[in-house]
């Protein structure tokens, strides 16, 4: 694949802008300047540099972001900055979007990708991809409240009960929930439905992928789909 097309596919601007980066000597492969836009490279596994920053080629981008509080999972946020502002320009340009959404005040593991098929696969309730949430409640949890979350509660927009795959009190006012669905404000509404209130919420896992301890709030890294749902 031509280096100009590689840059374009990875979000480094329009075709003209990518050609300009190359002509200006701002692109390197294996430490050497590539100033010919027609130079060809095998893209798979390629790591190139643009303006001194190393960038691995990915046909489809898949990003793990440790979402901090105070950010909206939207390209057109209304009240807070967008999580997109935490990502470098090439990822924004190529159109990555969140796989599901976390509320502005919810923290933790957020996936973003430009792979529409993967978004559908990970978001569909039929796939039963579990997500783990850690909640802090206003009042001490009772055994009855925890059991009701597993047995099922009815939310105000649907008569069908929603259930946690697992629910466990990890402290008097701390709850770990495992869900397969992803409805609007679901965790908060489920906790309210059993007579308590969610004061803070954090997503710690998505499928088989756990939020790395060394990834701080606002930081991101590349991942592979197999890290979320290992092949059967």
Q: Annotated active-site positions, please?
A: 103
Long-range contacts for 39-48 (Cβ within 8 Å, ≥24 apart)? 39/2, 39/3, 40/1, 40/2, 40/3, 41/1, 41/3, 41/6, 42/1, 43/1, 43/6, 43/9, 46/6, 48/3, 48/6, 48/7
Measuring CA to CA, which residue among 1, 15, 90 is closest to residue 45?
1
Measuring CA to CA, which residue among 143, 120, 156, 92 is closest to residue 229?
120
> For residues 161 and 189, is the Cβ–Cβ distance under 8 A?
no
């Amino acid at each position: 694949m031509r280096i100009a097309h590689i840059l374009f596919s990875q979000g480094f601007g329009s075709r003209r802008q990518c050609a300009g980066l190359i002509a200006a000597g701002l692109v390197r492969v294996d430490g050497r300047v590539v100033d010919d836009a027609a130079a060809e490279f095998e893209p798979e596994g390629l790591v190139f540099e643009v303006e001194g920053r190393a960038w691995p080629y990915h046909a489809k981008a898949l990003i793990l972001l440790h979402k901090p509080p105070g950010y909206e999972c939207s390209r057109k946020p209304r009240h807070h900055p967008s999580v997109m502002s935490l990502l470098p320009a090439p990822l924004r340009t190529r159109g990555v979007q969140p796989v599901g959404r976390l509320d502005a005040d919810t923290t933790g593991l957020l996936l973003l990708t430009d792979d529409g098929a993967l978004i559908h696969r990970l978001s569909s309730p039929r796939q039963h991809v579990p997500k783990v949430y850690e909640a802090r409640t206003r009042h001490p949890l009772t055994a009855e409240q925890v059991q009701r979350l597993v047995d099922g509660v009815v939310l105000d927009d649907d008569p069908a009960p929603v259930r946690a795959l697992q629910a466990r009190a990890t402290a008097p006012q701390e709850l770990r929930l495992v869900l397969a669905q992803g409805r609007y404000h679901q965790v908060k509404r489920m906790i309210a439905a059993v007579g308590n209130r969610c004061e803070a919420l954090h997503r710690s896992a998505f499928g088989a992928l756990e939020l790395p301890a060394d990834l701080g709030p606002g930081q991101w890294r590349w991942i592979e789909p197999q890290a979320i749902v290992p092949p059967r």
